[in-house]
Chains A and B, each alone.
Chain A
């Protein structure tokens, strides 16, 4: 598409050349980008997409912003990521896999890759290493959280990127958005929820659908995990149930080990 050159409040706005890449993931986050039906055309008009394997055949190595989905689980992925990092001015991690390792990192919890491989592939040799977030391999400029990412947030982030406006995430937990949506608290309905300690920004996606939060966006700033554990107990939920959610997406790493050692006591 031909670019209409814009200025915003006198500041020239350039269409950035962007590329999309995916590593170990379900590609759901990229799909979310195509799922922006209502605004897709405007969204595409903001960008100069030079690489988007899932949607187009043309490919180019000349890009400014790289959106990368997925976690790193193989050496060739790590190498390719480093190449992307070297080319891109801005590296954006999209989705929980890229930001924290995502559900893929659940295999790390066994600390036994051989057993994990054997479970799925038997004796057939297969290459795989511990699942890692992008930031464990290269510096990441921006993270868009969520499993899946929320299109409204992506659009806001991309608009701000294009404008050169700063990008802020809520520091407070999901409860704020849950209450703003006038939901009944999941705990009152007898369901466990990580909302009180998880970073907001998803508009309480799950609680608004009466599903307790699983913490896909990682911890809010200074989460009071200890208190939530007590609340879980008071409502009849076990440490195991809390742990299931806490370790699900990899965002709560430090708190997972704390809870594990606390529940052993």
Chain B
């Protein structure tokens, strides 16, 4: 990896260099009822909109790589035959400006199942291949537990990663194209003092984590506690609204719907993101539901993320961003649920 340092006022130049492309980044979405600022990822048309010192975004980046609704293909029907037209819905390369480590890690995890598996998902892959990612160091929030999930720093899956050293940015360059961009910027090799400052800044950040999840033997504990009473308690709270999965950067399950146009000559096949928390997720022919109760479904979400994925890919499908807990109206958070399953939380029966 190559490192560079550039003064903060150079950032706008970096933006300008990239601005011929579509740019997505954190923008302000007003304030919540307590006056706290809200952020979300959106297209950026003006450098002033870019809020690099954002706390966390409500939704993840997922809408850009796994849109909540996506047309997979269309059909033209003739009297006795039909044609299928496939469009991967990727047209433009896009710069993602200002992703935190957790979100970059989330994409890396999605890659494993959506690109690495025997059947790659071409719709995802097409968008994924057209990303230019600029990461940025974050300030841990009270709900962040990425440190516990091992996703508090990111080793690959980005082009450039910026760390705020006060009056300058420390840039990790991870791709040739990023290197090319940096060469049109006023920047230089970091000095030794800046190496130290970089380490120091990261250490300070490490010390700020307040939220933890104990993942020791979690795969086994989830198996052992499959029948635990706490699941029922969480289930009674859960609204089965799927919000947790919708805001999660790594939840990817979906449903398919096919519709015929009013003219009866065309049809479309649409994919829409689903959630394993929704009531009919595991319903099959004849109406049998493999997970009829909300606690069955809630449990399954944890089971998939913290056990199944680990078995398949040696790592958890959760990056510890805490969004699901933040968005859950019933206050169901990963740290509390896992603690209670481990028999530690206040909620343990």
- In the complex, A touching B, CB below 8 Å? yes
Residues of A within 8 A of B (CB): 6-10, 13, 39, 42-43, 45-46, 155-156, 158-160, 162-163, 165, 171-173, 175-176, 179-182, 184-185, 187-190, 195-197, 220-224, 227-228, 231, 235
B136-144, B200-208, B211-219, B239-247: which one contacts chain A? B239-247
Q: Could you write out 7 A-B pairs with CB less than 8 Å apart?
A: A8-B260, A155-B262, A171-B279, A172-B279, A179-B68, A179-B327, A197-B239
Asked whether B77 lies within 8 Å of A9 as measured between CB atoms, the reply is yes
Tell me the residues in window 36-54 of chain B with beta carbons closer than 8 Å to chain A beta carbons: 38, 40
Asked whether A172 lies within 8 Å of B329 as measured between CB atoms, the reply is no
For the side of the interface on B, what is the size category?
35 or more
Could you tell me the distance between the alpha carbons of A227 and B77 in the complex, rounded to whole angstroms?
A: 48
Which residues of A lie under 8 Å from residue B237 when comparing CB positions? 224, 227
A221 and B264 contact, Cβ closer than 8 Å, known pairs A175-B242, A184-B29: no
Asked whether B40 lies within 8 Å of A182 as measured between CB atoms, the reply is yes
Nearest-neighbor residue (CB-CB) of B38 within chain A: A184
Asked whether A159 lies within 8 Å of B261 as measured between CB atoms, the reply is yes
* B288 touches A (CB below 8 Å): no
Give me 6 other A-B pairs in contact (C-beta within 8 A), A7-B79, A10-B80, A172-B242 excluded: A6-B264, A42-B263, A159-B260, A172-B240, A176-B242, A221-B279
Nearest-neighbor residue (CB-CB) of A181 within chain B: B68
Query: Which of A159, A172, A188 is in CB contact (< 8 Å) with B259?
Result: A159
What 0/1 readout, one digit per residue, does chain B (147-179) give for beta carbons within 8 Å of chain A? 000000000000000000000000000000000
Question: Whole-angstrom distance from the CB of B322 to the nearest CB of chain A?
Answer: 15
What 0/1 readout, one digit per residue, does chain B (54-88) give for beta carbons within 8 Å of chain A? 00001100010000110000000101100000000
Nearest-neighbor residue (CB-CB) of A203 within chain B: B69
B5-13, B97-105, B270-278: which one contacts chain A? B270-278
Which residues of B lie under 8 Å from residue A196 when comparing CB positions? 239, 241, 329
Which residues of A lie under 8 Å from residue B33 when comparing CB positions? 187-190, 235
Residues of B within 8 A of A (CB): 29-30, 32-33, 38, 40, 58-59, 63, 68-69, 77, 79-80, 236-243, 246-247, 259-264, 272-273, 275, 278-280, 294, 327, 329-330
Question: Whole-angstrom distance from the CB of A178 to the nearest CB of chain B?
Answer: 8
Which residues of B lie under 8 Å from residue A221 when comparing CB positions? 279-280
Which residues of B lie under 8 Å from residue A160 when comparing CB positions? 260
Question: Whole-angstrom distance from the CB of A33 to the nearest CB of chain B?
Answer: 13
Asked whether A176 lies within 8 Å of B38 as measured between CB atoms, the reply is no
Nearest-neighbor residue (CB-CB) of A160 within chain B: B260
Asked whether A13 lies within 8 Å of B262 as measured between CB atoms, the reply is no
A163 and B260 contact, Cβ closer than 8 Å, known pairs A171-B280, A175-B241: yes
Nearest-neighbor residue (CB-CB) of A221 within chain B: B279
Which residues of A lie under 8 Å from residue B272 when comparing CB positions? 180
A180 and B240 contact, Cβ closer than 8 Å, known pairs A42-B263, A159-B260: no
Could you tell me the distance between the alpha carbons of A220 and B238 in the complex, rounded to whole angstroms?
A: 14
Asked whether B259 lies within 8 Å of A179 as measured between CB atoms, the reply is no
Which residues of A lie under 8 Å from residue B329 when comparing CB positions? 185, 187, 196, 228, 231
Nearest-neighbor residue (CB-CB) of B59 within chain A: A182
Closest 3 CB pairs of A and B: A190-B33, A180-B68, A179-B246
